[in-house]
Amino acid sequence: MDEQYISIVIVTADSGPSTRECVNRALASDVAVEVIVVDNGSEDGEPEAIARAHSDLGNLHILYNRSNLGFGAAANIGATQARGDHVVFLNPDCMLQPGTMRRMREALASRRNGGLVGAVIQSPDGAVDPSSRRRDPLLQRVRNTLRGKTDSVGLDGVHVPGPLPQGVSVEEAVSGALMMLPMRVFERCRGFDEDFFLHFEDLDLCRRVRDAGYEVLLAGDVCVEHAGGGSSHHRPVFVSRHKHTGMWRWLRNHDPVLRKPWIAAVVWLGIWSHFLITLPGTRAGKRKRPVSDD
């Protein structure tokens, strides 16, 4: 393991042309990095194109899975190949600036118990993604958020209101679109829980990092552009199903309220009823989405 060396893991699954720019931006970091692309059975040819374009680079590695193993499993595979003392998980439609890796590493180093750091995630038009800083999605918080009742004292929602911090802040959870951990922390927490196929694995990792005695941090002055949903636009029902599955698993693992069997049964019924109710709209959204010129 090399000191002051950062390993950037990018998981792809038919993620589209944005992956090329994502990889190029990561390679252009102003600190020493290696980029590890782990492909989950893509058919769009992008990982192969990236490999051909950078065949002369020793710090770019492409790993091919024959099928879609899920985000967590693929990310863990990438981490096992990493040589850096820090590991970064980066979405393939997330665009770094040259100084992003250095500034995030400095944010981690600024706190004695820093175990994981995220950045402010922005859409291309500059809108801040509220998932940049979040609370644990406990059942009552999810209910408050869905009902829009998060303004009163004692009625916390999942998202944290108010202006973003200008420096480093301690949070319960940050966005999985971009997160950095010291490799020793990632290994101590045994990586991502691979039973989360897609969605909620980042919230689960943040929770387990905190349970291990480390702090989850947000670098409030580091912003990253995220197009969003690059690999999921063409399969929204698949994504929605795994999102609902992930919510159920997170609640079962971490919310003590669900230790009561009758509450767990009601919550399970509610989650899958929500999936079925929203299914027509999910399918309609796919039909209405314009075809890209790319």
Do 180 and 258 belong together in one domain? no
Do 205 and 270 belong together in one domain? no
pLDDT of 285 = 64
Last residue of a domain, one of 173, 191, 226: 226
Do 203 and 136 belong together in one domain? yes
Nearest to 75 by CA among 89, 64, 61: 89
Do 250 and 136 belong together in one domain? no
Do 88 and 166 belong together in one domain? yes
pLDDT of 233 = 63
pLDDT of 293 = 35
- Give the C-alpha separation, 80 to 149, whole Å: 43
**Domain boundaries, position 249:** 236-288
Question: How confident is the model over 226-249, as a mean pLDDT?
Answer: 83
Per the structure, the count of domains in the chain is 2
What tokens does 10 get? Answer: 């990018």
Do 64 and 98 belong together in one domain? yes
Left (φ > 0), alpha (ψ -120 to 50) or beta: where does 84 sit? beta
Do 214 and 249 belong together in one domain? no
Distance from CA of residue 234 to its chain's centroid? 19
Do 70 and 188 belong together in one domain? yes
Tell me the β-bridge partners of 244: none
pLDDT bucket at 229, cuts 50 / 70 / 90: low
What tokens does 293 get? Answer: 């010129």
Do 124 and 149 belong together in one domain? yes
Average pLDDT, rounded, for the chain = 91
Rounded to two decimals, the pTM is: 0.92
Residue 159 lies in a domain: yes
Last residue of a domain, one of 175, 201, 226: 226
What tokens does 267 get? Answer: 């919550």
Do 188 and 249 belong together in one domain? no
Do 60 and 148 belong together in one domain? yes
Do 144 and 17 belong together in one domain? yes
Residue 294 lies in a domain: no
Give 135-182 pLDDT, tens digit per residue: 999 999 998 888 887 766 667 889 998 889 989 999 999 999 999 999
What's the angle, vertex CA 42, arms to CA 36 and CA 47, rounded to 5? 40
Give 65-78 pLDDT, tens digit per residue: 999 999 999 999 99
Distance from CA of residue 231 to its chain's centroid? 13
